[in-house]
Chains A and B, each alone.
Chain A
Amino acid sequence: MKKNILGLFLTLVLSGTIQAETVFVTLEKDNALAVVDPLAGKLIKSVGVGLRPRGLAISPDSKFLYVATSDENTIKIIDTESFKEVGRLPSGKDPETFALNPAGDRLYVSNEDDSLVTVIDIAHKKIVTQIKVGVEPEGITVSRDNLWAVSASETTNMVHWIDTKTNAIVENTLVDPRPRALSFTADSRQLWVTSEMAGTLMILDVKTKQLIKTINFEVQGVTHDKIQPVGVVIDKDGKRGYVALGPTNRVAVINAQTFAVEKYLLVGQRVWNLAFSPDQRRLYTTNGTSNDISIIDLDTQTVTKSVGVGTYPWGVAVKP
């Protein structure tokens, strides 16, 4: 009993010093959203959100979650306290991946079947425009300076540079086969793009829209064609980037200055999407086939925990 009280006390003290945060994970096969306390390493609950939830983002003020419920052809707005649906956005057909602009007033959605990017005005819940892109657009992101929205089309093997002021494509860059995910550096000077089929990470220069560097991955005991990079994130100091390597069950740690691959961290099976904690001291990964998330401590660069969340975890977002 004493121990328990002490434990409780320590927990309180610790959670008082470390910022409490909540991790949200969409569960594609459970039609639900998992709510995780990452510091305690516990699944708090899972709440139903609609059919086949995949893409997930949180509003800049952390009040709302945007959840693409693909089989309902909509993006739902969910209150992060009550988990009640407070609205729906006209996403176009079968929404999967989308990106929120830094101001939090525009959403860019990939419509894979129609080769379109749909731009949504969140406040008015209206489609601003639809932009014709390559075949099977998937990864999409907006630069921190809000100048660019970039869409990657998996079958056309290109990234399309959309000027956010005019909503027109101004340039296309050919990249390695089946580009999956992309992410800008915090200074908006580089775009990092993963290629699932070539097994590479490409660093593009935003000014010239040209390739600066292609990074290859090598994991011992894994043949090259198993290396299938998907999610990519870069820390705000521009020191390191992290790439989820899908069926290799690893996250690659990349030095963002030298582009050297520093380490491969073993996580759950078919690691897919990545998100930082607000203080960027931890990284959360969704592991598609082991039905859990892994928590990586970035100070020590080690995997500290895995938390079972439910069937087919897909997207991940963090609330401070």
Chain B
Amino acid sequence: MIRVLNLSSKMLLKLLFLIYFFGENIVYADARQMINIAYLTQEQKILPTLSNLDAFIKDPGIPGAELAIIDNNTTGQFTKQQFVLKKFIVPLDGNVVDSFNKLIAGQYAYVMVNLPAKLVNEIADLPAAKQMLLFDVGTIDDELRNAQCRSNVLHLLPDRAMRADALAQYMMKKRWTKWFLVIGATEEDRLYAEAIKRAAKRFGMKIVQEKTWEHTYDARRTEQSDVAVFTQVDDYDVLVVADQQGQFGEYLEYRTWNARPVIGTQGLIATAWHKTHEQWGAEQIQHRFKEQTGRWMEEPDYAAYLAIRAVGEAATRTQSNDISRLKAYILSPAFALQGYKGNPLSFRAWNGQLRQPILLAAPRSSVAVAPVEGFLHPKTELDTLGYDQPESSCLWNK
């Protein structure tokens, strides 16, 4: 009790609120339908980046999942359903597949996975995963939504193609059609550049020059002249940078030879979520999240939030916890998820990708939301972003 007394009055109120809220659950626990959800991730290495302004986030995704569980249970107390989240964080040197087989297999039907692309599919291909629905809340790989897709995996974050298309639509609106593409050294950068090239072709942009960044990654030592010399190319409207890790992209802005804006992985970015976003009720979830965690909501948090809310929405609507019923509902036209971005969100039935608006944001300003007005589609304008059904090479339903 002494400990409780030490808490601030606000915390105490919250605690009382929670006891009140979930107290009922404890009393009637056996009368409630249980929906157990696992969250699987691995500790992350700190990768070198150019800017040390942003604090390293140890647990991206987890607070988003926790907020969604609270929201699900608020509805659950009225529908007599209880959602329980169990987190499995594999140490840096641990084996994710072993952990999955030992701790999750046979015990969970709904599993959130925040893992690299290769591991997502390794898990998806395990025998125990066949009877599961996996929610990929971490990857943005196009391959995982195309040739390497799995019918037991749903993808929450927009892939690289969707992001590149979002940028291209806005560039088309601005008529900034001549692009100078600068690519970093990593495999992810190459994949991002591929998506940019695909988008350029789709929306009639011209890549006037393509260069690979081979200079240093140290902002203190790199001389001003590096970028100026590097960017003396044929005239272009925007510089599109592919630097997923943030090793040099931040360094390009204001140092180019000509006065040109930077877009791509730095400068104007295309993202599922951003701290500048406050339309369509986003302000409320930004506020709730920040109050809970003390930091801004990041993309994996948003993805995990949506994934668990999707399970909640399906369980509430079907009044069931049965995986086949929930999965059918999630992939049905009736499914509409509120994602604080204006349009209802739903999953593409051909590859399990969440269709959603994409935010175009500068570090301190929300610039536009794609699909940009004027890009039309017979079914939903959201499918103007990324691989549409006829273009998809995913063999889910084929």
Contacts and interface: CB of A to CB of B under 8 A. Distances in A.
Partners in one complex: yes
Interface of A: 112-113, 115, 132, 134-136, 153-158, 172, 174, 176-178, 196-199, 223-226, 228, 247
Contacts of A135: 70-71, 74-75
* Of listed B17, B70, B78, residue having the most chain A CB within 10 A: B78
B201 to A, nearest CB: 25
Interface stretch (B104-112, B237-245, B377-385): B377-385
B382 A113 contact: no
B140 to A, nearest CB: 23
B343 interface: yes
Contacts of B382: 225
A113 B281 CA distance: 11
B337 A156 contact: no
B330 to A, nearest CB: 13
A187 to B, nearest CB: 27
B338 interface: yes
Given A135-B74, A156-B71, A198-B344, A177 B287 contact: no
Given A197-B344, A198-B336, A134 B75 contact: yes
Given A113-B288, A156-B75, A158-B75, A197 B316 contact: no
A113 B287 contact: yes
A153 B74 CA distance: 10
Most buried by A among B17, B75, B377, B380: B75
9 contacts: A112-B284, A115-B74, A132-B20, A157-B338, A172-B78, A174-B78, A177-B344, A226-B381, A247-B342
B203 interface: no
A206 B79 CA distance: 19
B296 interface: no
Contacts of A172: 78
Interface in B32-75: 70-71, 74-75
Contacts of B338: 154-155, 157, 177-178, 196-197
B21 A132 contact: yes
Contacts of A153: 74
Contacts of B379: 223
A157 B75 contact: yes
Given A132-B20, A223-B377, A223-B380, A158 B336 contact: no
Identify the 8 closest CB pairs spanning chains A and B, nearest first. Answer: A197-B344, A172-B78, A178-B338, A156-B75, A225-B343, A197-B336, A177-B336, A135-B71
Nearest to A195: B336
Nearest to B287: A113
A135 B70 CA distance: 9
A225 B317 CA distance: 20
Contacts of B20: 132
Interface string B379-393: 111100000000000
Chain B interface residue number, banded = 20 to 34
Contact of A158 (B21, B78, B342): B78
Contacts of B136: none
Interface in B331-354: 336-338, 342-344
B284 A136 contact: yes
B313 interface: yes
A185 B70 CA distance: 34
A136 B75 CA distance: 11
Contacts of A157: 75, 313, 316, 338
Interface of B: 17, 20-21, 70-71, 74-75, 78-79, 281, 284, 287-288, 313, 316-317, 336-338, 342-344, 377, 379-382
Contacts of B75: 134-135, 156-158
A301 to B, nearest CB: 29
B74 A134 contact: yes
A134 B313 CA distance: 14
Contacts of A196: 338
B342 to A, nearest CB: 8
B388 to A, nearest CB: 14
Given A134-B75, A156-B78, A225-B382, A174 B377 contact: no
Contacts of A174: 78-79, 316-317
Contacts of A154: 281, 338
Contacts of B317: 174
Contacts of B380: 223-225
A132 B17 CA distance: 9
B311 to A, nearest CB: 14
A114 to B, nearest CB: 9
Nearest to B339: A197
B130 to A, nearest CB: 30
Contact of A156 (B17, B74, B336, B342): B74
Nearest to A112: B284
B344 A155 contact: no
Nearest to B376: A223
Contacts of B313: 157, 177
**Which of A134, A136, A225 has the most B CB atoms < 10 Å from its CB?**
A225
Contacts of A176: 336
B68 to A, nearest CB: 10
A199 B75 CA distance: 21
Contacts of A177: 313, 336-338, 344
Given A177-B337, A178-B338, A223 B381 contact: yes
Contacts of B70: 135
Nearest to A155: B71
